[in-house]
Amino acid sequence: MKILFICNQNKHRSKTAEKLFKAKFHTKSAGLYNEKPVNKAELSWADLVVVMEDEQRKEISKRFPKEYLQKRIISLGIKDIYSYNQPELVEILKEKSMKIFHFN
């Protein structure tokens, strides 16, 4: 499975998730408001798009309405209060992944 993780800047949450799950899946990460924001090709590549907050899902629907309707997009509900690879962030990602990806 190819999973694209998206957050605002692609510095902390999505980068951590990309690294954390790369042993089990094909992963990439992207941001919405950085120098090189997510694009149609990245969305098309993914089997599953995982955003960190519901607002990011809404932004994807505005920027890419066609791709949005064709993708399974899941929001993890993780606020932008963590740094890259912060232990608390890793634990939250693992906990939420058990419910979404059905593994531990």
Nearest to 13 by CA among 87, 83, 66, 72: 83
From CA 70, how far away is CA 36, in angstroms rounded?
23
Label residue 103 by pLDDT band (50, 70, 90). Answer: low
| Banded pLDDT at 104 (limits 50, 70, 90) | very low
> What is this structure's pTM?
0.95
84, pLDDT greater than 60: yes
Reply yes or no on whether the pLDDT at 60 is more than 80: yes
Domains of the chain: 2-101 (3.40.50.2300)
Reduced to 3 states (helix: H, G, I; strand: E, B; else coil), residue 81 is: coil
